[in-house]
Structure 1
Amino acid sequence: MELDEDGHPKRTGTWLSASAHAITVVIGSGVLTLAWTTAQLGWIAGLAALLIFGLITWFTSALLAECNKSPDPITGRRNYCYMDAVKANLGGVRVKACGLAQYGALVTATIGYTITAGISMTVVDKTNCLRKHGHDVGCDRSNNPFMIIFGSIQLILSQIPNFHKLSFLSNVAAIMSFSYSFIVIGLSMAKIADVGNHAQTSLGGVRVDIDVSSEEKVWNVLLSLGNIAFAYGFSSVLVEIQASQIYEHFQFNIVGLCLSFGFVRISQDN
């Protein structure tokens, strides 16, 4: 096996593979919730929240990009994961604290994906049942079997050795990410074009005591902010993406990718 100067397997990543990873994370399934999110917050608060979370992601990504090598960004030791960067720059008990935060975020995100996948598959199954048998037939479904199926598939796939080296998966995932975006655009256009439905946009979002109650408004606003924060998950995997690149100074490009994809996300939401 060919090794790098630091004894690790030789890096083979390019800007294309990095772009595929970044697109998958930034324009991934999180984009599916942004149409509903903006409807709850309105154009002003919705766009402001997107910009704020985008700037936060850009700032944290810029900091992580500078941690590619430590202690010197040119001659230092390369960090291959987030915990390596924390250990090299902070050390002490802060390594454990950041590790708990990172793995806690990964676990909760995985749980969220599993639940969302189960709900989505249940809706598809229920829709097919209603179209086949009509609304008079009970087509209620439980989410649990689909969540178990999805989780089992993930468990099996996670056992594949060198799974991270299957570069074609990044390209497939990037295509799927753009597919999510086109799905959202298509559904939004269909909603607006529906003659019997008077779809409206609002600067302030859904109206209290007209569309929803005050309690529902507060809950939906908090949920919308959580959806936007969840959609900007790029920085959590940036160190790993950067460590796979064959270019020494790729951090400048990776930050540019993050910033550009932030504007792409905002344009998609419009």
Structure 2
Amino acid sequence: MDLQKIKYFLALSEQLHYWKTAEKVSITQSALSRQIQALENELGLQLFERNKRNVKLTPAGNFLKEKWTLELSELEYIHQFAKQIHLGERGTITIAHPDSISASIMPEILEKITRLFPQLQIKLVQVLYENQLEFLKNYKIDLAITRDINSSAGIKSKKLYSDNLALVVPIDHPFNILEDLSAESLKQQKFILPTKDEGSSYSEIIQALFKHYDFVPDVFLHSEFGSTIIALVRQGLGIAILPDSYLHHQSPGIRFIPLPFKTDIYINWRADDHNPVLSNILNLIF
């Protein structure tokens, strides 16, 4: 039994007229008769009662019409679903991103994706620096948005965006503008900094800033999470250096002082990954 025979049966069960049905499905009346008879032979039952004037469904035919209509509808849905997966319009993609862009470029990227691919499932995760490449290579994530330059084989990378570093201080802190900063004034401060990761180009930019002002910071606390650092700064426990994209988090009680140091954001993906969902998103972003 093939699907086409069932479609012919369902078409005839609606029309109950061989000539009209044959015209609708674009075959000859004799070919339609042969297809219906072959289906009845395969099933070992009669689907239609026929005479010179009328065609009507048998009880068995009526039962199969009801069931096959539902099954065919479900099957067509499955086929359509599969086609959307093939075209990259359905499926799931997992994106790792830094906390710093949660309220800036991430909402813009996600708005574009969801507008063009509303059926796509998106998972957003945050991954520690030392795990990013491993997760990407092992298919735990599909895209990694990072502030670090990638040099790993098998991973493609492209610059997405740039922003500046900023000194983050409590709102009542004496630092107000860039000119307030000097080696002497900075030496008097306690710093709360992101965790220093070996080999991280982002960590190197922060170290370059300290070298520029020619001082060694008094760092009493490190955190992987910028939102935690901001909360600690607000509490008066120290000052911090973070990307100025945290401005979009609209955190009250703190001040951002822009610094003349840029930090780039890169998007990374597997070079040999031919997932159409991934291709669609990369084409959309770039």
Normalised to the residue count of structure 1, the TM-score between the two structures is: 0.20
- If each structure's helix is expressed as a fraction of its own residues, which one has the higher value? 1
Normalised to the residue count of structure 2, the TM-score between the two structures is: 0.19
- If each structure's strand is expressed as a fraction of its own residues, which one has the higher value? 2
Higher normalized contact order (CA 8 Å, seq sep 6+, divided by chain length): 1
Bigger Rg, structure 1 or 2: 2
